[in-house]
Amino acid sequence: MTIYKKFCALLFLVSDVVSAASFDCLRVTGTDEKAVCANRQLSDLDVEMAVKYHWLSGLAGMGVAGDMRDSQQLWLQKRRACGGDTDCLHTLYLQRIQALNRIYDAIPKPVI
């Protein structure tokens, strides 16, 4: 089983256990975070995105990891701009997850 398949299996298992956003919903202040906490689908997407981001941060080289941090900050600004618009947030999460998948695909993998 490839590392990506193992990761996806782990993500699937975690998604059943973790039903909250990747941040503390009791301490949110922004309308974007409140919307994520109030919507199970957005919360699940948030957890998926956060797990992929942190997992890839450990795999990526320094230059890629720095670019990822920069793009994550831009993405967070866009998320805040969505406010409580769940359609906007949903689209934004899907786009970020796709971007993280492309980063994973570009990482050289060992030949087994």
* Tens-digit pLDDT profile for residues 84-103: 999 999 999 999 999 999 99
Q: What pLDDT score was predicted for residue 16?
A: 41
Instruction: Kindly report the number of other CB atoms within 10 A of residue 59's CB atom.
Output: 14
- How far apart CA 34 and CA 84 sit, in angstroms, is 7
In a domain, 79, yes or no: yes
In a domain, 94, yes or no: yes
How many domains does one find in the chain? Answer: 1
Q: What pLDDT score was predicted for residue 11?
A: 54
In the structure encoding, which two tokens stand for residue 13, read together? 């298992």
In a domain, 111, yes or no: no
Q: What pLDDT score was predicted for residue 19?
A: 45
Structural domain boundaries, residue 51: 3-106
Q: What pLDDT score was predicted for residue 8?
A: 54
Q: What pLDDT score was predicted for residue 15?
A: 44
